[in-house]
A and B are shown apart, each in its own frame.
Chain A
Amino acid sequence: MVNKTAYQRVQGARRKDKISIAALIDGLTTDFFEQHGDRLEADDHALVGGIGLLKKRPITVVGIQKGRDTDENIDRHFGSPTPEGYRKALRLMKQAEKFRRPILALVNTPGAWPDVESEYHGQGSAVAQCIIQGMQLKVPYITIIVGEGGSGGALALACGDRVFMFEDSIYSVLSPEGYASIMWKDSAKVQQAAEELGLTPESLLKDGIINKIIHEYQPGDDLSDLRNFIDDQFTELSSLPVNELVDQRQRRFQNF
């Protein structure tokens, strides 16, 4: 793994040519069936999800996806889910539990969508439900932070058994720009902010917040190794009795 400054990681996480969640799903699974809607009021395009086979094992995938161009970014509001998106994710995760499918969450989001409508529709509540219910799911649940892991909007899909990060990714309580402007009223101090936030995979691995750093995959790369890695995780976690799995997960978060 190349040594980079925290801010270089931030830039890497936000790279335009970052492998998309759709490409990861496509490369990792076969027979993918995309599911839509929260069964309440909308279908949020920032939040993608569905069922697919990972090496013959049915799994549920939920992911937060940024757009690749302006039109798509508007449609997906720059990869920031609305409450409806989080409710769709939770719906799919609960369904995974019903059918005893493991869950793979793929995260690339600057954070939950911060608009008035989302507040009215209960953004906080939607994220909260993902967290509290996610932690109790009776199936293996792992997360890969692919690019940006922005705050509560990322944690909503990272309350499972194991969390992994790509080399060029970040996981942070708020953006370095936000931190800089709050701390020093100077958003130009992003580099320093990035350092202080400790948002790099290296630093988070040291703190035990994540389990492993996964090397970066580019669009078009063969994903066999990643597929095998995820499959091994599921095999390992599936061998645990359900109550032990859930207990272990609770303990993991109680350590912080």
Chain B
Amino acid sequence: MLQSRFKMPSHDELVKRMDAIPDHVLRECPICHYKFLSMRAGRNNTCPKCGYGFRMLAKRRVKTTFDKFTELDRDLTVPDRYTDEKYRAKIAKAKKVTGINESVLTGTALLDKHAVAVGVMDPFWIMGSLGSATGEKITRLFELATRKQLPVIMFTASGGARMQEGLNSLMQMAKVSSAVAAHSKAGLLYIVVLCDPTTGGVTASFAMDGDITLAEPHALIGFAGRRVIEQTIMQRPPKDFQSAETVMKHGFIDQIVNRADMKETLAKLLLLHTRENGNG
């Protein structure tokens, strides 16, 4: 009896704990397994040894990257027609943990004096899954950016389409893509920053549509998950087959950028795309 109270947590339980907002004193990097005092992760919340960027709340990301952020569509959230109790409970928890009403935080902001439209997905909001309101918010962000001639910077972090919303979720991939295309046709810049994890329907749409594609070190980036591959075709993928480094080697990422250098890199890219610089 007594022993069962001290039973080792299951693997799933451990994964869940990893996904919880970490406030433990001692932490372990999921990539290089280096153990260190939490405070050493610093303001950027990264592994002191390998540079892996721990999953980050969207609100925190915005705060550490941008100035003068003005949120858009703050109240947009999961439509009432989805009444499943379990789903509703997950939504309530996600809102509480992240402080936002959908899995993406959108707005306009300044970065080093450049006006930008910003989208930041929140990996703690039901795994940053792509719900219908998520797609709507991102679509509106691109539409606004097109109207106001702003570049878009999008930080992706997502488990993919949100199964609880069925095909409506899948349709967001197409809807957002058409807004991205209109923005691009207007000659505007779209920068994607692939964060851990970027998978499934997000990878298969707006995460791969950037003019410039950056990634955080060791971020997991892919389409089909490891388990899907293993169980469908009985193939065991290599350990790092979906790491940012592997994905870059295969031609899909311009640069892998440490979190500490992210702001500076984005500022440089905005500078390089400033029209007033006298284009040809």
Residues of chain A at the chain B interface (Cβ within 8 Å): 31, 33-43, 51-53, 56-59, 84, 88, 95, 98-102, 139-140, 234, 237-238
Indicate if the CB atoms of B251 and A52 lie closer than 8 Å: no
Quick one: given A41-B250, A42-B250, are A98 and B187 in contact (CB under 8 Å)? yes
Given A37-B248, A98-B184, A99-B187, A58 and B254 contact (CB-CB distance below 8 Å): no
B280 at the binding interface (Cβ < 8 Å): yes
Q: CA–CA, A99 to B269, complex, Å?
A: 12
Contact A99–B279 (Cβ < 8 Å): yes
Q: Is the CB of B251 within 8 A of A100?
A: no
Choice from A35, A36, A38, A100 contacting B280 with Cβ under 8 Å: A100
Contacts A31-B272, A51-B272, A98-B211 hold; do A39 and B251 have CB atoms under 8 A apart? yes
Known A-B contacts A43-B251, A88-B251, A100-B187; A33 and B268 likewise in contact (beta carbons under 8 Å): yes
A38 to B250, CA, bound (A): 8
The residue of chain B having its C-beta at the shortest distance from the C-beta of A91 within the complex is: B251
Show 24 A/B contacts (Cβ-Cβ < 8 Å), sorted by A: A33-B212, A33-B254, A33-B255, A33-B265, A33-B272, A36-B253, A37-B251, A37-B252, A38-B251, A39-B252, A43-B248, A43-B249, A43-B250, A51-B272, A56-B277, A57-B277, A59-B280, A84-B251, A99-B187, A99-B189, A100-B187, A101-B279, A234-B280, A237-B280
Per-residue CB proximity of B262-280 to A under 8 Å, as 1/0?
0001001101111001111
Task: Compute how far the CA of A31 lies from the CA of B268 in the bound complex, rounded to whole angstroms.
Answer: 7
State how many angstroms separate the Cβ of A119 from the closest Cβ of chain B: 19
Known: A35-B212, A39-B252, A99-B211. 10 other contacts (CB 8 A): A31-B268, A33-B255, A34-B254, A39-B208, A53-B272, A57-B280, A95-B211, A98-B211, A234-B280, A237-B280
A-B CB pair tally, cutoff 8 Å: 82
Alpha-carbon distance between A81 and B212 when the two chains are bound, in angstroms:
22
Categorize the interface residue count of chain B.
20 to 34
Q: In the bound complex, do residue A58 and residue B251 qualify as a contact, i.e. CB atoms below 8 Å apart?
A: no
Known contacts A98-B211, A99-B189: A238-B280 contact under CB 8 Å: yes
Q: How far is the CB of B55 from chain A (nearest CB, A)?
A: 25
In contact, A102 and B254 (Cβ under 8 angstroms): no
CA distance A58 to B274 in the complex (A): 8
Closest to A234 in B: B280
Q: Are B280 and A102 in contact (CB under 8 A)?
A: yes
Shortest CB-to-CB span from B64 to chain A, Å, is 21
A58-B273 in contact (CB<8A): yes
> Residue-by-residue, is B211-237 near A (CB-CB < 8 Å gives 1, otherwise 0)?
111000000000000000000000000
Which residues on the B side are within 8 Å of A31 (C-beta)? 268, 271-272
